[in-house]
C-alpha cells in the first residue's frame, strides 16, 4: 500500500479514531480542529498540526471531513480560511464523512466542482471502536473516477464500503441509517424500563432473546450498556443523534413521508438535549426517560 498525504478536519470521537487508524496504516495525516484541545488525542500518534483548513488542504492530496453538520462543513470548505482558499496546488478530492442533508451536499459539491475540487459524501456508521479496527460501514455517493481515487482511504477505514449512487446518495443512506439507529436506541431504552418495571433481571434479555426475531446488534451491543447505565467511553453524543434525527424529519417532509417511529425518536432526543443532555452519550437517553417516569409517578404534594 502506497502511503498517502491526507488531511483530516474534525477531531471528535469519530475523527480521532479515524485519524489514528490512518496513521497506523502508514499514511501522513495533517489535522485541524475547531477546538484545539481535541488535537492532543492524535498529535502524540504522529498527526501533523495545521493552522487552518486551508493549510490542511495545502499539504494534502485528499482531505477528509468529519464535523458536526452542514454549517461546519460550509465553514471548513468555503469559509475565509477554508479548504478552497488553500494556495495551488491543493487537495483535489474531498471526502465528507459528516452527516449532512443530501440536498445541501449536492449543492456544496457543485460549488466545489467549479473550483476543481471533487466531492465524495461518505458518512460512516459503527462508532470509534470500528473506526480503530478499520471496520466502519461507509455509504458512498460520488462519481466513479472520484471514488476510484478514494478507494485506498475508504477501504482502510471501512469493512463495508458501498457505492450508493451519485453525490448525495451516501447521505441519503446515512439518514435512513440514523432513523433506524435513533428509533432503535429509543426502543432499547423502552425495553430496559419495561423489563425493570415488570421485575425481570433486565440484563438477561440479550441472552434470552438471542437467535430469535428480536435479536439484533442493537440488542447485543447497545442494550447491555443501557441496562447497566454504563456510558463510558461514549460512542457518540446525544446532540449529534438529535441533529441526525432532525435531518430524518426534514428529508421525510421533503418526500411527503415523515416516518412516525423515527419522528417520535427525534422528539425524545431533542427533549433530552433541551434538558441539558446534549453532551451525554446517545445511549444515555434512559436517564432522561427515567426522570420523566419518576416525575409522572410522584404524587403532587399538598
Annotated domain spans of the chain: 5-166, 172-297
Question: Could you report the average pLDDT of every consecutive run of 10 residues in the chain (302 residues)?
Answer: 92 97 98 96 98 97 96 97 95 96 96 97 96 98 96 97 98 97 97 97 98 97 97 93 94 94 96 96 95 57 47
Asked if 237 and 281 touch (Cβ cutoff 8 Å), the reply is: yes
As beta bridge partners, residue 139 has 162
- Fold for the domain defined by 172-297: 1.10.1040
Distance in angstroms (rounded) separating the CA atoms of residues 188 and 104: 32
pLDDT at position 291, please?
76
Which residues are annotated as catalytic?
174
CA atoms of 98 and 72, how far apart (whole Å): 9
- CATH fold of 5-166 reads Rossmann fold (3.40.50)
* Closest CA relative to residue 57, chosen from 8, 116, 17, 107: 8
Pairing of strands 62-65, 48-49: unpaired
**Cα angle vertex 301, ends 297, 302, to 5°?**
145
**Tell me, what DSSP letter sits at residue 118?**
E
For residue 174, give Cα distances in angstroms to 102, 123, 268: 9, 6, 20
Model pTM above 0.85: yes
CB atoms < 10 A from the CB of 104, how many?
17
Contact in structure between 253 and 269 (CB atoms under 8 Å): no
Amino acid at each position: 500500500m502506497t502511503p498517502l498525504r491526507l488531511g483530516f478536519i474534525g477531531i471528535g470521537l469519530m475523527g480521532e479514531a479515524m485519524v489514528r487508524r490512518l496513521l497506523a496504516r502508514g499514511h501522513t495525516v495533517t489535522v485541524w480542529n475547531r477546538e484545539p484541545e481535541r488535537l492532543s488525542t492524535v498529535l502524540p500518534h504522529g498527526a501533523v498540526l495545521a493552522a487552518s483548513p486551508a493549510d490542511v488542504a495545502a499539504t494534502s492530496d485528499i482531505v477528509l471531513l468529519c464535523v458536526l453538520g452542514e454549517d461546519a462543513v460550509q465553514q471548513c470548505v468555503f469559509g475565509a480560511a477554508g479548504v478552497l482558499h488553500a494556495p495551488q496546488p491543493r487537495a483535489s478530492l474531498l471526502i465528507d464523512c459528516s452527516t449532512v442533508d443530501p440536498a445541501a451536499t449536492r449543492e456544496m459539491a457543485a460549488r466545489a466542482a467549479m473550483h476543481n475540487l471533487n466531492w465524495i459524501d461518505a458518512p460512516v456508521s459503527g462508532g470509534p471502536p470500528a473506526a480503530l479496527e478499520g471496520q466502519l460501514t461507509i455509504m458512498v455517493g460520488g462519481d466513479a473516477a472520484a471514488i476510484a481515487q478514494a478507494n485506498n482511504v475508504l477501504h482502510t477505514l471501512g469493512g463495508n464500503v458501498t457505492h450508493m449512487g451519485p453525490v448525495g446518495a451516501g447521505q441519503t443512506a446515512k439518514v435512513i441509517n440514523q432513523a433506524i439507529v435513533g428509533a432503535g436506541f429509543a426502543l432499547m431504552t423502552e425495553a430496559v424500563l419495561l423489563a425493570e418495571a415488570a421485575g425481570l433481571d433486565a440484563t438477561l434479555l440479550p441472552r434470552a432473546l438471542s437467535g430469535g426475531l428480536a435479536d439484533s446488534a442493537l440488542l447485543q451491543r447497545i442494550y447491555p450498556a443501557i441496562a447497566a447505565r454504563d456510558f463510558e467511553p461514549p460512542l457518540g453524543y446525544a446532540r449529534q443523534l438529535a441533529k441526525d434525527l432532525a435531518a430524518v424529519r426534514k428529508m421525510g417532509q421533503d418526500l411527503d413521508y415523515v416516518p412516525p417511529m423515527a419522528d417520535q425518536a427525534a422528539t425524545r432526543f431533542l427533549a433530552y438535549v433541551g434538558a441539558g443532555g446534549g453532551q451525554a452519550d446517545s445511549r444515555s437517553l434512559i436517564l432522561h426517560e427515567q426522570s420523566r417516569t419518576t416525575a409522572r409517578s410522584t404524587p403532587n404534594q399538598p
